[in-house]
Amino acid sequence: MITESVVAVISGYLLGSIPFAYIAGRLLKGVDIRRVGGGNVGGTNVMREVGTAAGIGVLAADIGKGTLAVLIAQWLGVPQVIVFVTGLAVVVGHSWPIFLEFSGGKGGATTVGVFFALAPMPCAISFGIMLLVAFITSNLRLAMGIGIAFLPLILWGFGGEVNLIIYSVALPLFTGLRALPAVIKSLRNPEEKKNFIFDKEHKPWQRKK
């Protein structure tokens, strides 16, 4: 079981390290996504700087790698705690990818992917909330934060295990702390601060001009 646990965690980190946003930027527009827009190696930045379809594809891929990492851990039959550690490992890989000199994204989409594998129906409801907030505010970062904040309550409503509910608080808290410096920076920038709740300049489906 030690071997399976090590394989699960390492494979989770390596999956998380695949920088889909960077790859999309290089292949489709010849840019380093870390050097344009907000500099984040994630789907939102790709959507604005490369194109809507590319951004949606990156979001889906980042969600998918979180889901796949957990499914591999479950397939290996490792204990629940190792499955949880694997979920953390894939998010860490996204945030500090070995293939990109440890300079990655915030990990929000990958975190969503982890919970799609652990609790498909509650996570689908949470994801629905994200889509609704994104449609109303045009603010994907806010939408993801609100949607994931509802997840523990949704899990509780579905009778989820206590360990899973605690994990649904702990893992998003980790990604939230990772994103905190960017949030503080936005609040200090007058141009970004005015779009902190309702993004008046960008729509999720519009490329930045």
Higher pLDDT: 176 or 188? It is: 176
| Whether residue 197 has pLDDT greater than 70 | no
Higher pLDDT: 45 or 67? It is: 67
Q: Which of 150, 183, 196, 187 is nearest to 40 (CA)?
A: 183
pLDDT in tens, 46-93: 988 898 899 999 999 999 999 999 999 999 999 999 999 999 999 999
Res 83: pLDDT:
97
Q: Which of 204, 195, 193 is nearest to 135 (CA)?
A: 204
| Whether residue 17 has pLDDT greater than 80 | yes
Res 209: pLDDT:
46
What's the predicted TM-score (pTM) here?
0.88
CA dist list (Å): 131 to 10, 145, 146, 157, 182: 32, 11, 10, 21, 22
Cβ atoms of 151 and 123 closer than 8 Å:
yes
| Whether residue 112 has pLDDT greater than 90 | yes
Span of 24-28, 126-130, 198-202 with lowest mean pLDDT: 198-202
Res 142: pLDDT:
84
